Amino acid sequence: MWHPDDFIFVPGQTPLTSLRFLIFIFIFHFIITCALEIIMTRRAKPIDVRRIQRYNNLLIGIYSAVTFALANILAYRDSRFDSWDRLVCHRPTPKGAYALLWYIFYLSKLWEFLDIYLVILNKTPVLMHFRWHHQTTPSVVLAGLLGDVSYEWPTLVCNSLLHTFMYPHFAGVWDVHRILLVLGASQLLTGLSFSIYALIVGCGGSFYAQIWGLSMCITYTIGYLNEHFHLVDRLRVFISASRNDSKQS
């Protein structure tokens, strides 16, 4: 009888993990998103998919809660908590149930594409930060998986904890806006901190996968700051004002 610990992840051979597929799904998602937006701009009314959206948000929330619990249980089982170094820097390549959990976590990022489509069909404005994050997170997770990046535990735990609260919030189960602000900031801080820490200390995993993860975390941080503090918009105003002052002088 098959057991989760029998799972073996083979880079590029395990379904949907090849670079060719990643490029394909990146382009496919971009085209579908643009096509849906063009279609919906020509419609006076939204397509009523709120019930589907609610159930989808609830399912993602439940999945995220289970993932958060399992990530900690399996890390404890595999003695990841024995030392800081083993938890986030140098540890054996994940295998069995933990590797399966990480792989399913990657697949869940493809599942989240549906979230964008439903938002567009509802004629709800899609924030650029939200769009970019959903577009690129599969590549970040897959790069970490293929490159065996050692600090997957903190990023997996932070993301699943955020989504445990966020998606039920979107489904109308509860109103936890302030908690989401804190968890969102914590996730970005965690991603940036461990990406930089891994490069400085020389943690296990592909250097290029670490650089890619750090680069994307920087873009997510800029998007988050602009969304909540209009950082980029203020910078544009400042630059424009500076140019006008220089012309007048």
| C-alpha distances in Å from residue 58, one per residue of 50, 51, 54, 55 | 12, 11, 6, 5
> pLDDT digit string (tens) for 185-202?
999 999 999 999 999 999
pLDDT the model gives residue 225 = 86
Phi, psi of 243 (to 5 degrees): -65, -40
Cβ(5)–Cβ(97) below 8 Å: yes
pTM attached to this predicted model: 0.91
CA–CA separation, 184 and 162 (whole Å): 7
> pLDDT digit string (tens) for 207-235?
999 999 999 999 999 888 888 777 777 77
86 compared with 232, residue with greater pLDDT:
86
